[in-house]
Amino acid sequence: MADYHLEGPKPARIYEVILPKKLGYFGKIQQVLEDLFDEQAIRKIPFVQQAIARQRQKDAAFDEEDWIGTLCQATRGYSIYEMDGRYMSPSGPVDERVLVIRFIFHNPLDRGDPRTDFLAASLEVVNHLVAQRFAHELGVEEEIWFVEYHSPRLAIWRRDSASPSGQ
């Protein structure tokens, strides 16, 4: 039997980006989400280029490589699910299916390293590298929702490295 130990509960941040589910969006959604795992793609995002320029003006010692590295490491995954709902529009009730993309951020155990403060970077990652890109690049929706959950706690049951694999 495998041995596990409890890590946490520890602070976490949860964000969801909610946008209408439309077949024409799938390619763009996939590209935006895949770019989160590609350092060169992250460097090309206008928000990232502007943020680097602003930081350099404020602080000559700004370490672009560390900042980009933190953005790249902060997103370790996401989940996508669909939700059906109804909302009131000026012309009456509208039924709509939406995609919800959920991100859960937490810091690894080596809290002393500022490059692993993923909680601090999480808002920039999801709000600008995902939600803002959808808004600008899809460009046709009235609204794209961005939800932040306050004060969640995360507990992880992690398999001990010396434990045999589950059989």
pLDDT tens string 130-154: 888 888 888 888 888 889 998 888 9
Task: Decide if 82 is inside a domain.
Answer: yes
CA distances for 24 relative to 1, 27, 99, 138, angstroms: 47, 7, 13, 9
Task: Decide if 166 is inside a domain.
Answer: no
In this prediction the pTM is 0.78
Task: Decide if 164 is inside a domain.
Answer: no
Give me the pLDDT at residue 144, please.
87
Task: Decide if 125 is inside a domain.
Answer: yes
User: What single-letter DSSP state applies at residue 25?
Assistant: G
Query: What is the CATH number for 154?
Result: 3.30.70.120
Q: How many domains does the chain have?
A: 1
Which residues constitute the domain of residue 49? 4-159
> CA–CA separation, 153 vs 12, rounded Å?
5
Span 16-39, mean pLDDT?
91
Task: Decide if 93 is inside a domain.
Answer: yes
pLDDT digits (tens, 9 = 90+) for 57-100: 998 888 888 888 888 888 888 999 999 999 898 999 999 999 99
Task: Decide if 167 is inside a domain.
Answer: no
> CA–CA separation, 155 vs 87, rounded Å?
34
Host H or E run for residue 74 = helix 64-74
The strand pairing partners of 25, in sequence order, are none
> CA–CA separation, 98 vs 102, rounded Å?
13
Task: Decide if 165 is inside a domain.
Answer: no
> Are the CB atoms for 107 and 74 separated by under 8 Å?
no
Tell how far CA 17 is from the center of its chain: 9
For residue 18, is pLDDT > 60? yes
Task: Decide if 139 is inside a domain.
Answer: yes
Cα torsion 131, 132, 138, 144 to 10°: value is 50
Span 93-120, mean pLDDT?
80
> CA–CA separation, 120 vs 76, rounded Å?
15
Tell me what the pLDDT averaged over the chain comes to: 85
pLDDT digits (tens, 9 = 90+) for 149-160: 988 889 888 888
For residue 166, is pLDDT > 60? no
Burial of 105 from C-beta contacts in 10 A (0-12 / 13-18 / 19+): buried
